[in-house]
């Protein structure tokens, strides 16, 4: 349950509405594999369950998706949200570990942020932020597109990290 699939299981019916498709790729706990297969059978036009991993397909999915859901219970670092930024896919994450450190929540009043997040580990808060993301996508498309651009411009390279650490080090030694 580290990846938050238990939360998705609670609200899958609400996630898959008339305006939403849901794609999953990868393997894991048998109960979740079965759950995604069931929903792919029940909603063949809305859910795609790819219970295997293929790097090429993974990259195609990142490129084709509008949003990327990552409701992890805990996530020390997280790479998939960084990949989603690079592809212009807006991350929807739970505020934990590396997800909290790398995804700036969208603020409609200040026009800032590059993703959506929720704090409490429960399906209702997750569903609320999913619906807010959908609302933003469909009603405030210009703001969504700006959020995509901000995410794609983020720099997670070693050079960017090095400059931050050099600045901290210089400050610590009084340079």
Provide the pLDDT for residue 77.
84
Q: In Å, how far are 10, 23, 84, 139, 166 from 65, measured between CA atoms?
A: 22, 9, 9, 18, 36
For 68-111, write each residue's pLDDT tens digit: 999 999 988 889 999 999 999 999 999 999 999 999 999 999 99
Domain boundaries 5-173, corresponding CATH code: 3.40.50.2000
Q: What is the spatial distance between Cα 42 and Cα 45, in angstroms, rounded to a whole number?
A: 9
Count, in order, helices (H) and strands (E) of the chain.
8, 5
For 104-157, write each residue's pLDDT tens digit: 999 999 999 999 999 999 999 999 999 999 999 999 999 999 999 999 999 877
Check if the beta carbon of residue 93 is closer than 8 Å to that of residue 116.
yes
Give the start-to-end residue ranges of the domains of the chain.
5-173
């Amino acid at each position: 349950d580290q990846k938050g699939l238990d939360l998705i299981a609670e609200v899958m019916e609400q996630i898959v509405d008339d305006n939403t498709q849901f794609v999953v790729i990868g393997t894991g706990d048998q109960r979740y594999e079965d759950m995604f297969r069931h929903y792919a059978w029940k909603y063949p036009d809305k859910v795609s369950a790819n219970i295997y991993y293929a790097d090429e397909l993974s990259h195609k999915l990142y490129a084709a998706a509008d949003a990327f859901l990552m409701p992890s219970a805990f996530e020390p670092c997280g790479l998939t949200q960084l990949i989603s930024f690079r592809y212009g896919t807006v991350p929807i994450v739970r505020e934990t570990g590396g997800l909290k450190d790398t995804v700036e929540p969208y603020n409609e009043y200040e026009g800032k942020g590059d993703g959506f997040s929720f704090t409490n580990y429960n399906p209702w808060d997750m569903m609320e932020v999913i619906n807010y993301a959908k609302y933003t996508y469909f009603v405030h498309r210009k703001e969504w597109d700006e959020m995509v651009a901000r995410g794609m411009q983020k720099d997670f390279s070693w050079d960017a990290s090095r400059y931050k650490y050099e600045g901290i080090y210089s400050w610590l030694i009084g340079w």
